[in-house]
Structure 1
Amino acid sequence: MPGVLTQSEFSTGLIIRGGNTDQNLILLDGITVYNPSHLGGVFSNFIVDAVKDAELIKGGYNAEYGGRLSAVLNVTSREGNRNKFDAKMNISILSAQATFEGPIPNGAWLVSGRRTYFDKVLEQTSLDVPPYYFYDLQGHVFTDLSAKDRLSFSFYKGLDDFSYDDIGIDTYWGNETFSLAYRKIFNDLLVGNFLLASSRFFTFFNLGGESGLVQDNTIQDFTGSANLTYFQNEKMTWKFGGQVKELGFNYDNTFADSALFTIKKAPIESAAYTKLKWIPNKRLVIEPGFRMNMYTAHSDTYFPDFRLGLKYLLTEDRYINFAVGNYHQFIMTIQDDYNPVLLDFWMAIDESVDPGKSKQIVLGYEEYFGEIYKVQVEGYYKDLKNMLTFVETRASTDEVMSDEKLTDMFDIADGYAYGLEVFAQKMYGKINGWIAYTYSISRKSIDDYEYFTNWDRRQAFTVIGNYNFNKKWEFNWQWSYQSGQAFTPILGYYLENLDYTFDSSHSNFSTIPGSRNTGRYPSYHRLDLGAVRHFKFKKFDMDLYI
């Protein structure tokens, strides 16, 4: 999609409209998933066979959502087969995946899992390649207690493991989520959705063994929420509700068995919201909303958000979209302008730092040509404030930091992003696909010094296609081009003698960085081609693909 890029060739973390990956709210059945991305850039964040729907709101999202500055990815699990047991398996040279589903009384269940195994393959070769693997396990079960009551349970567990003894790296990260949801249809006008959930994200990074650098970061999130929808009449629909998050953060950093700093925080983040969908006439849809955020670890406590969305139909096939709003974020990852960030380490703000803030404005035009073609043009502007960035004299790999307050460790950066997106799609037919182009700018500033962000990509162009040759053969292709990302160049090195002697065994080279992100990597493009052969048997289907 236009305006959506992955963090790098080796990651599925999403950069959406000039925002960092941590500025996206990712929900799986209503519960926050902090970082579901995998290395390699090949695999999706979630198991596709276990997903019913994935809604991506790239900007200007309504008051129902909050806690992030940029975008929302709302994923809904597939419910499973209510009529019979079914199974699906997928095996490739990189991974294996299986999905099982079947009925229960008045409901259904589904469990899906996958694991990569090139770490096992590498063990049988002489290749000097770092072993890496990940696995995901995802499931959903529901039962209808009555025609008006549904109870459902969802879970997700994912783990990435990367170890390379030759250079002394041992690292892993992952997510665990559990949610219990209850849907109640009170009457024809009022529907309620209630949720109790737990989400845990953890990151461990070790460089140099037990006496080396160790970073350990954990987030524990307990959430309760209630959302009600009231259908007042054909022209007015209200949605209102709230949530409470009890958060626990732990960030330990040690070097040579000595604690450099330990940060532990247990804030409570909560919110209440209301939004209205009003259709005053056949051409106009108005969606105002208000959200009040509350955060206990900051002296101000209350942070209001105002949202407005408009949709105007020029004809049945052409319409204009407009959205404007302000947003707050209380937990965020630490941005490092001097070193490539391998892992996400999350922080909760304290009283020394204001929460992240953004203001967004989006204007778009969309037109359908019959039921086959679609064209969309959209522009956006985003103003960003209070992003945590390592100070210029430090980096995320430094060995000594203060742990008194966040302003001792980080610079506070502001920024902005703007862009134009063009999207054309052929939705149906023997040949289908889409073309997308994005022009965007993403900048930050610290103490009146302005520079490009790590995730700035000036130009991006993508062509995706699918050709259904016949019932047996299917061909697909994807060509992507994007401008190179910005980086901070290294001007030179100096010898740092830690014990002030001339013994080189106790010395190491340190870098002399240039100005922030004044370098630019070359432009990048890639072409992927694929073919699928479909087989049908009496009791099962099989696909072979390359």
Structure 2
Amino acid sequence: MSIHEYHFKTYFKFNLIVICFFISTTCYSQNQYKIQGIITEENTTNKLIGANIYNVNNKKGSSTNINGRYIIDATNGLNTLIFSFIGYKTDTIEINIISDTIINRMLKKEFNNLSEIKLKSNSSSVKSIQSSVIQLEVDKVNKLPSLFGETDILKSIQLLPGIQSGSEGSTGFYVRGGGPDQNLILIDGIPIYNSSHLLGFFSIFNNDIIENITLTKGGFPARFGGRLSSVLEINTKNGNLKKWKVNAGIGLISGKITLEGPIIKDETSIIVSARRTWIDLLKKPIANLLEKNALTDNEENKIEGSYYFYDLNTKINHKISKKSNLYITIYSGEDNFNSKIFEDKTTEWQSRGTPYQTKSYGYTKFGLTWKNLASSARWEFNYNEKLKTITSIFFSSYKFLNNTKSDYDWTEINLNNNDTTYNGYYNSDYLYSCGIYDLSLQIEFNYKLNKNHLIKFGNSITNTTFSPGFQNVFKDAPEHENYPNAKLDTTILFLRKAKPLNTIIYLENIININTKLSTNIGVHYNLYQINKSNYNSFQPRLSTRYLINKNSSVKISYAKMNQNIHLLTNSTIGLPNDIWVPSTSFVKPQKSNQFGLGYYININNGQFGKWLDFNKHNFEFSIELYMKKMKNLISYSEGNSIFESGFSQWEDRVELNGKGETKGVEFLLQKNTGKWTGWIGYTLSKSTRKFQNINLGNEYPYKFDRRHDLSFINNYKIKKNIILTSTFVYGTGNSINIPSDQYLIPSHNGFIQILNYNSRNSYQIKPYHRLDIGCSFIKQKTWGERSWIISIYNIYNRKNPFFIFFENQSISENNLGINKLKPSQVSLFPIIPSIRYNLKF
């Protein structure tokens, strides 16, 4: 029996024992009545998260979880229940309770009260046990001003404290000093390894199919693991069980459409959402622009080029019974860039007094493709009011391909006698490929021991395949005395195929110790196996909340995290040629320890002067302090990258056992009611790295060590159907490595240029700041809703640094021609107006 077979058999036996135990205990523990159910939006059946349920009789309250489910205590006899949620009509019912009961309710949206842009429902951040958790509402994100009118959840996340963008317009995000590989991104529980389109300027997530977004950046519950910095959960809509609906939109660079409706009414629904760019339809203007400005000034060269990306989301929701649901999710997305340069030119030259003419013709073709495929089947089953299980199987893959092919022919003619002296050709083919594939099975248990004690337990087993990163290089040219033989046919293997096995077991205890003190204490165990190497890791987790009063609380958290995969990054601008590599016997898993302390308060009573009444204008304020220490980080060694020549494996090109430390304080002030809403977020932080063979072994600033980071989000309701929005961001410039001195040493060929560098990342580029404004015009029609969204990106045309490069500048000193390096800044996006039109019916 192989070790994989042994682990699968043990896995199933263990789960069977756990299920039998919980069923047997719940059969004898029903001493009080419970009401449970799901709260959804009327007509759409989208689950409402954070909806409130109140029992008038026993004065007990509850709220829905991320799946829209709730459980509340009930008394024997008549009970009055009140269901409420911001932006929806309150629903009150009376019901006679004589046993445990399931009650599902649908709340109707109030169209005459446009919802505000906000992060969380009132008081949730104060009363919840978990710290450093933020939820974004998609409908509100869609109203923010955006680049090219393409609203993007990842760019919206960058507006929150503790989260930084990588570069201008990029969707890459860095959480509390961590790297981009240290963020676990989940769509319906499926891990996504590449989350960007268009070289990082847009994310792969289509807002129209997203139901809710939750970001955890500290105090991680035991159920999460595999990354050091954050967990981003994106849950998609379930589809309308009542009727068919359409949501469509068209913008400057893309269009999208979403269809949802019942396959079997009240039983099975489907939702399909597609998005595609128009860029390839505009390929001729783009090609003309490239031909004139970008690649060559030779009029005999012609360029063809095209680019597009698409996303396709599908989700099926089937009600097996009142206690059981099946969800099937499929996501497919791809970026495809192709260009072809044609050459047909004639050149004249001389050799030893003889004139020659060379006619050459041919082409170079360049292709770049990267794509994601993700799918899952999730079965939820409620055995009773105490025990719920979720069983999932998922597949996730990411693949990157880069191909360059050249084919040229030329003829050499002696102009003295018009004889053809040489017929030549040149063929070359370059292919780079890599990929990563996950296949996983997992089961979760939620067991309510009593009204003050909830146990969450689960395990999973994942087989990951790292597809070889290789470069195929082929060249062919004939022999000639003036043209040396250039034949080459080889494969450079950068990463050998690897199939590690990852097993996880976790346990969470969520306990209300008394009315003020609650805690979530747990442990996450991970066994990682690759070849003959085993890595065991016990990761304790703790989150504790103390209610000072009903409007304020203090929280403390600790989390130890392990990460078994690494990302080797060649660029910071979102290029997809980054490569995922596994931990091996030579490269250890990354580890971190993170501590957090926070204070949270709701300001909803009192008055400040005559103009600010807190009874009408609710504010939420939080301050969080954190410290995170990391070890076993890796980075390319000095002068190395994936494209360096040589035949060495990736393990020979990296620096190992790096250390990182980050600490900071985050402030967040929110206003969630009234005509004016929004938030202000500010982060003061420091992030460093340390490698033995980098910067002489001394600590140096992390590239994205951003000391100050500020965001100011405004939402003003001019009328009930007109909303004005604005976004202002400011951030300290990135730290980069540039030469401090240039030395010119005379030689027989002129001068040799020597560059001297100070400590690594000692230069800080200019600060980044930008103001965007937008306006949404929304009108309800008898057939649905239409909206126009107009926005202006970078309204004062700030030239923010995208990157810094150096060019040689020729000067004359003492009658000597000398080249000096001159730094230059590249800025990407000037002021950009945009417009988008949306329909819902």
TM over 0.5: yes
The aligned residue for residue 457 of structure 1 is 706
- Asked if structure 2 preserves the Cα contact closer than 8 Å seen for 1:402 and 1:409, the reply is no
For 2:391, the equivalent position in structure 1 comes to 194
The answer (yes or no) to whether the contact 1:452–1:517 under 8 Å persists in 2 is yes
SS at match of 1:158: strand
- Shift in Å at residue 491 of structure 1? 7.0
Report the alpha carbon displacement of residue 400 of structure 1 after superposing the two structures with TM. 1.8
- Aligned pairs for 1:58-457 within 5 A: 58-105=217-264, 106-124=267-285, 126-128=288-290, 131-165=306-340, 170-206=367-403, 211=428, 214-254=431-471, 256-257=473-474, 258-261=490-493, 262-297=495-530, 299-335=533-569, 342-343=575-576, 344-370=578-604, 372-403=618-649, 406-407=651-652, 409-447=654-692, 448-457=697-706
Paired position in structure 2 for 1:498: none
* Corresponding letter in the other structure for 1:377: I
Check 1:436–1:163 CA distance in 2 against 1; reply closer, same or farther (3 A cut): farther
CA distance, structure 2, for counterparts of residue 514 and residue 369 of structure 1: 49
Distance (Å, rounded) in 2 between the aligned partners of 1:399 and 1:207: 17
Give the superposition deviation at 1:147. 0.7
Q: Select 2:179's aligned residue among 13, 16, 20.
A: 20
Is the CA contact 2:195–2:203 (under 8 Å) kept in the aligned structure 1? no
Deviation of residue 62 (structure 1)? 1.0
Displacement of 1:122: 4.2
For the structure 1 residues 40 and 524, does the alpha-carbon distance in structure 2 shift closer, same or farther, using more than 3 Å as the test? farther
Q: 1:174 to 1:488 in 2, by over 3 A?
A: farther
Instruction: State the partner residue of 1:499.
Output: none
User: Is residue 748 of structure 2 the alignment partner of residue 488 of structure 1?
Assistant: no
Q: Do the aligned partners of 2:204 and 2:311 also contact (CA within 8 Å) in 1?
A: no
2:331, 2:201 → 1: CA distance?
20
1:63 and 1:291 in contact (8 A); partners too: yes
Residue 430 of structure 1: how far off its partner (Å): 1.2
| 1:286 CA displacement | 0.9
What CA distance in whole angstroms lies between the structure 1 residues aligned with 2:700 and 2:524?
A: 32
Q: Is the CA contact 2:172–2:180 (under 8 Å) kept in the aligned structure 1?
A: yes
Residue 55 of structure 1, aligned match among 214, 217, 222: 214
Residue 514 of structure 1 and its aligned partner are, at CA, apart by 6.7
The answer on whether the counterparts of 2:595 and 2:626 sit within 8 Å (CA) in structure 1 is yes
Q: 1:186 to 1:330 in 2, by over 3 A?
A: same
Whether the 8 Å contact between 1:435 and 1:462 is mirrored in structure 2 is yes
DSSP-derived class of the 1:368 partner: strand
List runs of 5+ in structure 2 lacking aligned partners.
1-159, 295-304, 342-363, 407-426, 475-489, 605-616, 744-748, 791-841
Shift, 1:329, TM fit: 0.5
Check 1:215–1:428 CA distance in 2 against 1; reply closer, same or farther (3 A cut): farther
Amino acid at match of 1:348: P
- Aligned equivalent of 1:521: 765
1:104–1:512 distance in 2 versus 1, CA, 3 Å = farther
Q: Distance in 2 between matches of 1:211 and 1:412?
A: 39
Cα distance in 2 between the residues matched to 1:217 and 1:23 = 20
Provide Cα deviations, 1:372-413, integer angstroms capped at 9, x if missing partner.
21111111111111112111242343122512x725544331
Corresponding residue number in structure 1 for 2:120: none
Partners of 2:580 and 2:586 lie apart in 1 by: 17
1:133–1:520 Cα change, 3 Å:
farther
Structure 1: runs of 5+ lacking an equivalent: 495-501, 503-508
| SS of equivalent to 1:265 | coil
Structure 1: distance between partners of 2:777 and 2:766: 37
Structure 1's 138 and 477: CA in aligned 2 closer, same or farther, altered over 3 A?
Answer: same
Q: Which amino acid aligns with 2:451?
A: E
* 1:517 shift after superposition: 2.2
Does structure 2 retain, via aligned residues, the 8 Å contact 1:269–1:296?
Answer: yes
Greater shift in the superposed pair: 362-371 or 263-272: 362-371
Which of residues 448, 460, 471 in structure 1 aligns to 2:720? Answer: 471
CA shift for structure 1 position 320 = 1.0
Q: Which has the higher mean CA deviation after the structures are superposed, 515-524 or 480-489?
A: 515-524
Q: Secondary structure at the match of 2:181?
A: helix
Checking the alignment, whether the CA contact within 8 Å between 2:280 and 2:307 is kept in structure 1 is yes
Distance 1:521 1:131, change over 3 A: farther
Among candidates 534, 543, 546, match of residue 787 of structure 2? 543
**Whole-angstrom CA distance in 1 between matches of 2:166 and 2:196:** 10
Q: CA deviation at 1:22?
A: 0.8
CA shift digits 1:299-326 (9 cap, x unpaired): 3431111111111111111011111011
CA displacement 1:92-137 (0-9 Å, x = unmatched): 1111011110013313211111112133224345322785432111
Please give the secondary structure, in 2, of the residue aligned with 1:522: coil
d(CA) in 2 for partners of 1:168, 1:513:
38
Distance change (3 Å), C-alpha of 1:165 and 1:476: farther
- Once the two structures are overlaid, the 10-residue window that deviates more, 452-461 or 429-438, is 452-461
Letter in 1 for 2:398: F
Contact 2:452 2:512 in 1 (8 A): yes
CA contact (8 A) 1:81 1:103 kept: yes
- For normalisation by structure 1, the TM-score amounts to 0.91
How big is the shift at 1:5? 1.9
Offset, 1:511: 9.4
For 1:362 and 1:158, locate their aligned partners in 2 and report how far apart those are by CA, in whole Å.
Answer: 37
Note if contact 2:683-2:710 (Cα within 8 Å) is conserved in structure 1. Answer: yes
The alpha-carbon distance between structure 1 residues 318 and 515, as it changes in their structure 2 partners (threshold 3 A), is same
In structure 2, relative to structure 1, the CA distance for the partners of 1:85 and 1:202 (3 Å cut) is same
AA in 1 matched with 2:370:
W
CA distance in 2 between counterparts of 1:190 and 1:84 reads 32
- Which stretch of the first structure deviates more once superposed, 392-401 or 61-70? 392-401
Residue 699 of structure 2 aligns to a residue in which SS? strand
| Superposed displacement of residue 530, structure 1 | 0.9
Letter in 2 for 1:280: I
- Which secondary structure state, in structure 2, belongs to the residue aligned with residue 342 of structure 1? coil
The one-character-per-residue Cα deviations of 1:174-228 (angstroms, maximum 9, x if unpaired) are 2110000100111111000000110001122346769476432201100100000
Q: Percent of aligned pairs with the same residue?
A: 29
Deviation at 1:169, TM superposition (A): 5.3
TM-superposed deviation, 1:340? 6.3
Aligned residues: 531
Q: In 2 relative to 1, CA 10–208 (structure 1 residues): closer, same or farther, beyond 3 Å?
A: farther
156-165 or 182-191, which moves further after superposition? 156-165
- Offset at 1:455? 2.4
Which residue of the partner structure matches residue 506 of structure 1?
Answer: none
The alpha carbon displacement at 1:331 in A equals 0.9
Kept in 2: contact 1:215–1:251 (CA 8 A):
no
Q: In 2, Cα distance between the equivalents of 1:115 and 1:191? A: 39
Q: Which residue of 1 aligns with 2:484?
A: none
- 1:497 maps to what in 2? none
Q: Which amino acid aligns with 1:34?
A: Y
Give the letter for the 1:180 counterpart.
A
The offset of 1:451, in angstroms, is 1.3
Structure-2 change in CA distance of 1:513 and 1:339 (3 Å): farther
Question: How far apart are the structure 1 equivalents of 2:283 and 2:674?
Answer: 42
